[in-house]
Amino acid sequence: MAKFQYTIRTQEGKQESDVIEAPSIEAAISVLQNQQLIITDIRPFSETEPLALNKLADQLLSYFNRVKSEEIVLFTKQLAVLIQAKVPLVQSLKVMAKQVVNPKFSKIIASVANDVDAGVVFSRALAKYPKVFSNFFIQMIRSGEISGRLEETLTYLSDYINRQYLLNSKVRGAMIYPAFIVAAFIGVGAMMLIWVIPNLTSVLTESGQQLPFVTRLLIGSSDFMRSWGWILFIVLAANFNK
């Protein structure tokens, strides 16, 4: 049995990665497709390339290619304009898929267009991507479909999301200076732990005396920062950009 590493998307739009054993790659694909899973990537599994690292790389790639709020705003606005111009929904979505710059978002819109073209309700096609389209967005689209006022709903959504985006932008702008101060304090503290404390540690340990708990805790924090501090900085940077 050979091992194959795969990345799939479930019917709910959730992306997962794992390893499957099968006689051939064709057999592995058949097994996954029989489970109603959408295969986005499959390849022979290498023991020298740990799966955990691949998952981390996929998560980082997914984060940096995420769909931003301003892209949702622009998509909703332009889709509302197309619908107002009496362009059919499927054709409007296909036009939007070609105009969107973000390749990830473009694929999502194209997938939604294909689902709608196949007879899936628009709101249900959007619901496959909960990380991109909020529950409020989907429920509003559903109400527009039921009432037959999708055009008005899209116009309202474009205005609402735009107001929310502008408000969030103002809040983030107001937080820049406090965030800069906090980052400066964190940077100074990190420099103390990485460069200053190690120099003092050698002097303290040579004395041979029992060090207080707080001092030992500080030395341990310094050792951790020198070994694994880069992970902490990546996590903080990722959370700050959300």
Flag whether pLDDT at 113 surpasses 90. yes
pLDDT band at 142 (very low <50, low <70, confident <90, very high): very high
Exposure of 53 by Cβ count < 10 A (0-12 exposed, 13-18 middle, 19+ buried)? exposed
Q: What is the overall mean pLDDT for the chain?
A: 80
3-state secondary structure of 6: strand
Most confident residue range from 69-73, 143-147, 203-207: 143-147
- Predicted model pTM: 0.53
Same fold, 2-64 and 69-173: no
Enumerate long-range contacts of 80-87, CB under 8 Å, 24 or more apart: 80/151, 80/154, 80/155, 80/157, 80/158, 83/150, 83/151, 83/154, 84/151, 84/155
Give pLDDT, residue 239: 58
- State the Cα–Cα distance between residues 170 and 179, nearest whole angstrom: 14
pLDDT band at 216 (very low <50, low <70, confident <90, very high): confident
Flag whether pLDDT at 184 surpasses 50. yes
- State the Cα–Cα distance between residues 100 and 125, nearest whole angstrom: 18
Give pLDDT, residue 52: 46
Domain spans, the chain: 2-64, 69-173, 176-240
pLDDT band at 49 (very low <50, low <70, confident <90, very high): very low
Rounded to an integer, the average pLDDT of 218-224 is 78
Residue appearing with tokens 């050698």: 202
Flag whether pLDDT at 197 surpasses 90. no
CATH H-level, domain 69-173: superfamily: Type II secretion system (T2SS), domain F (1.20.81.30)
- State the Cα–Cα distance between residues 165 and 223, nearest whole angstrom: 42
The residues, ordered by sequence, that sit 6+ positions from 103 with a Cβ below 8 Å of its Cβ are 65
| DSSP assignment letter at 100 | -
Flag whether pLDDT at 51 surpasses 50. no
Beta bridge partners of 6: 18, 42
Rounded to an integer, the average pLDDT of 207-230 is 74
Q: In this structure, which CATH number among 3.40.1800, 3.10.20, 3.40.50, 3.30.70 belongs to the domain 2-64? A: 3.10.20
